[in-house]
Amino acid sequence: MSEVPRVVVVGSCMTDLISYVPTLPKPGETLHGSQFLVGFGGKGANQAVAAAKLGANTALVGKLGTDAFGDNYMANLQSVGINVSNVGRAEGPSGVATITVDDNAENCIVIVGGANNKLSPGDVLEAESLLKTARVAVFQMEIPLETNVAALKQLKTCNPTCITVFNAAPATKELPAELYPLVDVFCVNESEAEVLLGLDSVKTVSDASKAAKLLKSRGCSVGMVTLGASGVVYMDESGDMTHVPCKKVDAVDTTGAGDAFIGALACLMARDTFMPFEEKVRLGCAIASESVTKLGTQSSYPDEAFLNHLFKQ
């Protein structure tokens, strides 16, 4: 693993409890499933694992519980080479995610934050030595919002050249105005864009372009919307709009695909300052597309050999 790139993710760890079913259940309906898996998830850890597996020297700032889930999760992070010096333990349960995946690879997810809800601004302050070395720092919405804001402000002081990526997921209706100018790349998917921006529908490239422009107008450097199989739309620092399509694949499980994209993008921004941003997004889409061809979340993420294969294409 290269020691040059440096990605720091401030975020969540969730143990995934995954059931595979023919169709997603309706209210009050009980279904027979075909398979059950226990895996490692949580948006923060997913993004960290995605970056680490692609070769980025990666650290996670997070919080696990004092249960067996926490013990197993710490071992998992260490097994992929993630720096866990600032992954703390909080008395009580770890975070869990109950995930249902249907035969069309669509999913629905319920998360219970557990120890993730105890990740505090003080924990981030203790991680300043990591933040000072970061080329890219990544954030999501499965930890307290105040912790994200504190960390983003801290970075502007201790490491102002660090590229900040904010993935506003899960969806939220409102974020403080002060957050947007602290973010370089602000990324949401279709449904998150609808909720955050108050839009009726974000389904098409045209819809996503309007959403990206609205995000950019709130003060971030790059407003980005992911469209699943339809790719990514973003408005860059110059105000130019770009659509990057995704390669069509036979998807079997889309869980964590957005995190694979964010982790890949963070890795690429950390390791190569000369590659055009559009090419980094294209490669991120290719990584995410590959991940949906396998079952599971982190276990489906491609490794550095796959990334090197993409470089040769």
- The residues annotated with a catalytic role in the active site are 259
List alpha helices for 80-169, DSSP H.
121-126, 128-133, 145-158
- Alpha-carbon gap, residue 187 to 212, rounded angstroms: 9
**Cα 203 from Cα 230, distance rounded (Å):** 9
Q: Which two tokens stand for residue 94?
A: 């770890």
Closest CA to 22 of 104, 108, 99: 104
DSSP state of 237: T
Token couple for 182: 């602290």
Question: CB burial class (10 A; 0-12, 13-18, 19+) of residue 26?
Answer: exposed
What is the spatial distance between Cα 134 and Cα 136, in angstroms, rounded to a whole number?
A: 5
Strands 95-101 and 14-20: parallel
CA distance 88 to 116: 10
Residues 305 and 158: their CA atoms lie apart, in Å, by 34
Tell me how far apart the alpha carbons of residues 119 and 179 are, in angstroms, rounded to a whole number. Answer: 18
Peptide bond into 25 cis (omega under 30): no
Residue type, 180: Y
